[in-house]
Structure 1
Amino acid sequence: MTNIRKFTRFSFGDLVATAGPTVVVIAVLCAAAYLIVDPAPPRQVVLATGQENSAYEEFGKEYAAALAKHDITVTTRRSLGSQENLERLNAGKVDIAFVQSGSTEEQAARRAGLVSLGSLFTEPVWLFMREPAAVTRLADLKGKRINLGPEGTGVPKLLRKVLELNGVEPADLTIGALENTPATVELLEGRIDALVFSSGPEAPLVQMLLQTPGIKLFDFTQAEAYSRRLPFVTHVVLPRGIVDVGRDIPAQDYHLIAPTATLVARDDLHPALVDLFVQAASQIHGDTGWFQTQGQFPSARFTEIPVAREAEKFYKNGPPLLQRYMSFWMANLLDRMWVVVVALAALWIPLSKVVPPLYVWRIKSRVYRWYGQLRTVEQELDAAQGEQRAQVSVALLARLDEIEAMVNQISIPLAFADALYGLRSHINFVRQRVRAVAAAAAEEAAAAAAPVPAV
């Protein structure tokens, strides 16, 4: 029964020995495709924000909290503002940053390898002055002490263009370059007449200055004209009472000019992280605000920087299908599996044509190798001459018995039984030939030994 089982069972060991190297090669190449062609997203990202107490800094904290839910660590880095953020992006010091519209041009952004994840919110230009201030037009600022902020903020560049439209030269002003927080202290202490910065209304400094007695917000009554002359700014209105309806703060509508804050990344930022940041932007900036309606932001509009492909997909179709129903990492894993599937198909189709013939050859080689032994027996038989033939025949018959005994121990699947039985019949064929030669040699020996009859 043991021999029958050996004879009839499927040769799993031969299949493993034959297909094993192929499977290992496929597994290694698929793993390489999984890790190299489409690597997993990094778990740490560096986000450049803005100055202390700025809207950029506050929103940076919200992004960090949103991505922390998906086990992504967002390290926020303070900066002077938009221009410095662009410099850090170009230098590869940060992965993503807040950038103000008008800070760069499309061709420069393409050359630097930058992509936009969408515009997030309008950030008006706030010009706060001490009361009483007889400033109704920007031309009235001549001779005033005004803080424009550091060059890295982008505000000095913007306001110089606005002042130029009003015929005001930088030499007509006493310009300061303090950051927003110390400049606010200088304004409150009366050491400067005005300060200007660009920020979202959520910034603590904006909220505080709008409610500080003795501080007046400049009304850009010609905001619409500025928006026509400067394409990267829009005209927005700060409604009366928006800060505090009960106290009627502010006591009038204010017209402001506003560039747009944009989330900009390097074009090598992992696509899965682009999806996460855009989804976070939708949650953080998608509600109504002082200057926006429900769903107006984030948007692929209002940016001169090319929009990332994944961001465009989000604005058209919403979040990726898998991420709507499962965790980010599981969805990302399944989404990346197509790379492995393609690599597996490309390898398995040709290799699958090689494995079956190798399996058949491995099984039949157990049988075919004994034909070499049979051929050796026949060659020795043919080489024997004269009286040696009888002795050689006896030895060859013993060897054939050994060969047959060993052949009977071969474990072979039932599908290949015909080869085994063919071998056994051929062993018997060679045995018959050896016996015939032995019989002929015996007859010759007997004839030679017989007495010669007398004449």
Structure 2
Amino acid sequence: MSKILKFTQFSLRDLFVAAAPTVLLIVGVCLLAYWLVDPAPPRTVRLGTGQENSAYEEFGKKYAAALAKHGVKVTMVPSAGSSENLRNLRDGKVDIAFVQSGSTNEEAAEREGLSSLGSLFVEPLWLFVREDKSKPPITKLTDLRGKKINYGPKGAGSPRLFRQILELNGVEKDEVERFSLANTPATVELLEGRIDGLVFTSAPEAPLIQMLLQTPGIKLFDFNQAEAYARKMPFLTHVMLPQGIVDLGRNIPSEDYNLIAPTATLVARDDLHSALVDLFVQAASTIHSGAGWFQQQGQFPSAKYTEIPVDAEAAKFYKSGPPFLQRYMTFWLANFFDRMWVLVVALGALILPLSKVIPPLYVWRIRSRVYKWYGQLRAVEQKVEEAPQSTRMQVYEEQLKRLDEIEELVNQVSIPLSFADGLYGLRSHIQFVRKRILFLMGEASPAAPDAVPV
């Protein structure tokens, strides 16, 4: 009974063997498409930050912590500031960086393959000067003539911006003694009285800003023409530092201050993986969405206030929120399913044509079990036909034994019932060859000269 069942059942083994090359080809092409057409996001990313104790450095730490929750390591690359970050982006030394508005323009950004992930916060231009009661107070930028002012290090955004502002006031480059120290040593020089003032652009969260606003003898310059600056330089906005915002109990500052402020923008190279763009924008919405000294709740991050074209993925986030799958799944799982469309396209292109190959391969494999014995049968016939006269009877007897062996092996062949006609045909042909040999043996025997073939 077991032999009958084995004989009649569908041959899964043959089906698997016939389908294996096609399946392996489909899997290989799908994997190739999965990794080449839409590669997995990298697990490390380089973020250009800023100087020591700067707002860029502080926010860089927050981004690193936010992305670490999703298994992405952020390597912070310190710099002098916005201009150096922009240069590092162009040179491929960083993947994403903080850049101050006004540092470039739309045409240059498109030419250099840069895109904005949105503006994050305003970073006012802070001008701190020493108070000297023996000298008239500095109330206008023209009063800086002959003063020692630290513009900031080369590569920062403040030197370029401050030069533009001085030019608007008619102050020539050589009329102010310029220093190019980093913010921390410049602050020491200011406190020691070796320079008269220092300039830098930063968010108010920067530790140096907090310290200088509360240091006796150091005064913040009031840009009382801030609205005019904002009209002449569109990337600037007029912001107000309210009285008492630093310390209400001690009333610091003791008056309102007008300030001019560019915005800090998150700028990425065009080759930054779209999934990492989503992660950074989501982190920005958490880090920068709260109310602050110069912003309302939910004002930032924003696709506005930037002259650099906004990345398509970032613009989609600002319009519709995070990707649907990332609202309910972990980042890597959501990214995996989001990339599955590549497999769907590859499968659709391959499965239909290749699936037509499997049935013929299956049929050929089953029938080949029968057809291979026809080669053995043909070899028997050739030896019989080519047998020499002197050993003819010996050859006939040997081939009859060979036929018995073939028949025994054929009887052990197991194939599905739907292909049994080929097996029974083979058996009948074996019998036919056997009768043919017996006839030839009878014909060759002197005792039976009149034998007639059956």
Bigger mean CA deviation after superposition, 420-429 or 225-234: 420-429
- Equivalences for residues 187-226 of structure 1 within 5 A: 187-226=190-229
Matched residue of 2:57: which SS? helix
CA distance in structure 1 between the partners assigned to 2:227 and 2:75 by the alignment = 38
Matched residue of 2:155: which SS? helix
Could you tell me which amino acid in structure 1 is paired with residue 52 of structure 2?
Answer: E
The unaligned stretches of length 5 or more in structure 1 are: 449-455
Matched residue of 1:151: which SS? coil
1:111 aligns with 2:114: no
Could you tell me which amino acid in structure 2 is paired with residue 362 of structure 1?
Answer: R
Contact 1:34 1:340 in 2 (8 A): yes
Could you tell me which amino acid in structure 2 is paired with residue 302 of structure 1?
Answer: Y
- Equivalences for residues 35-184 of structure 1 within 5 A: 35-131=35-131, 132=133, 133-184=136-187
Structure 1 residues 437 and 239: CA distance shift in structure 2, 3 A: same
Matched residue of 1:146: which SS? strand
The two structures have a TM-score, normalised by structure 2, of: 0.90
Could you tell me which amino acid in structure 2 is paired with residue 117 of structure 1?
Answer: L
Percent of paired sites with the same residue: 68
Q: For residues 319-377 of structure 1, what are the alpha-carbon distances to aligned partners after superposition, in whole Å with 9 as ceiling and x for unaligned?
A: 11111112112222222233233333333332221122111101101112223344455
Aligned residue number for residue 277 of structure 1:
280
Could you tell me which amino acid in structure 2 is paired with residue 54 of structure 1?
Answer: S
CA distance in structure 2 between the partners assigned to 1:381 and 1:129 by the alignment = 117
The two structures have a TM-score, normalised by structure 1, of: 0.90
Match of 2:326 among 323, 337, 340: 323
Q: For residues 88-143 of structure 1, what are the alpha-carbon distances to aligned partners after superposition, in whole Å with 9 as ceiling and x for unaligned?
A: 22222222211101111222222222221111111001111222452222222222
Structure 1 residues 123 and 438: CA distance shift in structure 2, 3 A: same
Aligned residue number for residue 451 of structure 1:
none
Contact 2:442 2:448 in 1 (8 A): no
Could you tell me which amino acid in structure 2 is paired with residue 65 of structure 1?
Answer: A
Aligned residue number for residue 291 of structure 2:
288
Bigger mean CA deviation after superposition, 53-62 or 248-257: 248-257
Matched residue of 2:111: which SS? helix
Aligned residue number for residue 409 of structure 1:
412
Could you tell me which amino acid in structure 2 is paired with residue 258 of structure 1?
Answer: A
Aligned residue number for residue 241 of structure 1:
244
CA distance in structure 1 between the partners assigned to 2:270 and 2:359 by the alignment = 46
Aligned residue number for residue 360 of structure 2:
357
Match of 2:268 among 265, 269, 291: 265
Structure 1 residues 372 and 75: CA distance shift in structure 2, 3 A: closer
Q: For residues 127-180 of structure 1, what are the alpha-carbon distances to aligned partners after superposition, in whole Å with 9 as ceiling and x for unaligned?
A: 112224522222222222221112211211111111111111122212221111
CA distance in structure 1 between the partners assigned to 2:221 and 2:392 by the alignment = 125
CA distance in structure 2 between the partners assigned to 1:171 and 1:389 by the alignment = 121
Structure 1 residues 88 and 402: CA distance shift in structure 2, 3 A: same
Matched residue of 1:58: which SS? helix
Structure 1 residues 386 and 62: CA distance shift in structure 2, 3 A: closer
Contact 2:284 2:301 in 1 (8 A): yes
1:425 aligns with 2:391: no
Following superposition, the deviation at residue 59 of structure 1 comes to 0.5
Aligned residue number for residue 30 of structure 2:
30
Following superposition, the deviation at residue 20 of structure 1 comes to 2.2
1:232 aligns with 2:235: yes
Contact 2:278 2:317 in 1 (8 A): yes
Matched residue of 2:97: which SS? strand
Contact 2:443 2:450 in 1 (8 A): no
Aligned-residue RMSD, C-alpha = 2.6
Following superposition, the deviation at residue 278 of structure 1 comes to 0.9
Following superposition, the deviation at residue 431 of structure 1 comes to 4.3
Q: For residues 186-245 of structure 1, what are the alpha-carbon distances to aligned partners after superposition, in whole Å with 9 as ceiling and x for unaligned?
A: 222222222111100111111111222222211111111111111211111112222222
Could you tell me which amino acid in structure 2 is paired with residue 3 of structure 1?
Answer: K
